[in-house]
Amino acid sequence: MIITIDKGNSFVKLAVFEEVELVEKVIFTQDEVEKKILKIFEKYPKLTHAVYSSVGKMTTELEKIIENNVQLIKIDTSFAFPFVNLYETPHTLGVDRMVLASGASLMFPQKKCLIVDVGTCVTYDFISENNEYWGGAISPGIRLRYEALHNFTAKLPLLTKKQPDDFIGKNTNEAIHVGVIHGLILEIDGFISKYSVNNQDLTVILTGGDANFLANQLKSTIFADENFLLKSLQQLHSYSSQND
C-alpha cells in the first residue's frame, strides 16, 4: 500500500492506494497535516511508501514523520518523468503540472490530452500523442476571482462560491456570481474549443478542487476526476518502480 500526498496552495490532499485502487481520500488544512497523517499511518499499518508533490516546501517535521513510518519519494523537477518536456523554461514549470502531464501520458497513452486543473489557479496543460509536453496557460481560480473583485475595488463584497440562477445578474451579488462562475466556464470552454481546432479527438481531463462543481456546466465532452493528481502520483510511483 502507498499514500500519495499533494500539498497545494490552500489544502493538503492525501490518498491511500491498494495497488491501483483508491481506498481512502482525506483533505485537511496545512496546520492539521502532521496530526492527520499520523492517524493514517496508524489506520493502515501495511503502508510502505509515501509519494509526495508540493507547490511549496515540505516542513522538516512532516518529512521526519513520514520517513519514520514509510519510504518517502519526493516528486520534484529532477524526477524522471514519462514524457518529453518541450517547455521553454522547464525549471519554472510547477511540479504539480508535471505530475498531471505524467498522469495523462500514463493513463491515456498516444492520446492528445488537455488537462484543466481548477484549483487556486486554473492551469491548462497540453501533451501530444507523441508524449511531448508543449505547455499551456495559467489563470486565476474561482476563489481568487472573488477575492480580486473585493480586494481591488472600493465597494464590491467578498462572496463565496455559488451557482448563479441565471446568466443575467439582477443585483450586485448575482452579477458577481455570474461574472466569476460563467466567466470561468466560458474561459474553459473557449480554451477547449481553441485546442480542438488543430487537435482532433482531443481528450480533456478536468480535475482539481472545483472540478465537480464545474463539470456538468461545460458544453465540451470531458473526463472529470477531482482526484486525477493523486492518481497521477500513484501512476508515477508504479512507472518509476518498473523503470528503475
Instruction: Describe the strand order of the beta sheet including 71-74 as a list of residue ranges.
Output: 21-28, 12-18, 2-7, 49-54, 71-74
Count how many residues are written for the chain.
Answer: 244
- For the chain, what is the radius of gyration of the CA atoms? 19
Which of the following is catalytic: 6, 96, 125, 210? Answer: 96
Give the single-character DSSP code of 179. Answer: I
Alpha carbons within 13 angstroms on the beta-carbon side of residue 33 total: 23
**Beta-bridge mates of residue 5:** 14, 52
φ/ψ (deg, to 5) at 228? -60, -35
Three-class secondary structure of residue 102 per DSSP? helix
Residue reference for cell 518529512: 63
Is 189 tagged catalytic?
A: no
Q: Which residues are catalytic?
A: 96
